Amino acid sequence: MKIKINCPILGIDGIKPIPNPDSPGGRLDPPLPLTLKDVCINAVLSPMEGDDEKKKFTKWEIFKKLREAKEEVELTAEEIVIIKKGIGKFNPPLVLGQSFEMLEK
């Protein structure tokens, strides 16, 4: 299924995007918004208890798909489940809720 991954994650006001903590920032260079792509990449690259070599390699394959994607990525239902587990483990409800909704569209 095709997922649009360049959508920003919005703050509590539902209007302004959450700044990406990994992007460069400053007065002259405002930080880039946190996107679904960023959240998904962090989810698959974060180690989880119980991940064996096969699961880690599957996450590596998902990461490569996400990294190469510009606007949309083709993901299987199994890959979405893996991503959602990582999102659920490492993100607050504000990020989790929006990410899940975008992944389920």
Three-state DSSP at 47 gives coil
Average pLDDT value for the chain: 93
6 vs 9: CA distance, rounded Å? 9
pLDDT more than 90, % of the chain: 87
Predicted confidence band at 22 (pLDDT cuts at 50, 70, 90)? confident
- Of 13-22, 63-72, 77-86, 88-97, least confident by mean pLDDT is 13-22
Q: Which residues contact 96 (CB under 8 A, 6 or more apart)?
A: 87, 88
- Give the tokens for residue 79: 């890959």
- What is the average per-residue pLDDT within 62-88? 97
- Give the tokens for residue 38: 């960023």
Predicted confidence band at 23 (pLDDT cuts at 50, 70, 90)? confident
pLDDT digits (tens, 9 = 90+) for 25-49: 655 467 889 999 999 999 999 999 9
31 vs 33: CA distance, rounded Å? 6
The secondary structure element, H or E, covering residue 72 is: strand 72-74
Dihedral in degrees, nearest 10, Cα atoms 62, 74, 66, 43: -60
What is the pTM (predicted TM-score) of this model? 0.91
pLDDT given at position 11: 97
User: Is the distance from CB of 61 to CB of 73 less than 8 angstroms?
Assistant: no
pLDDT given at position 59: 98
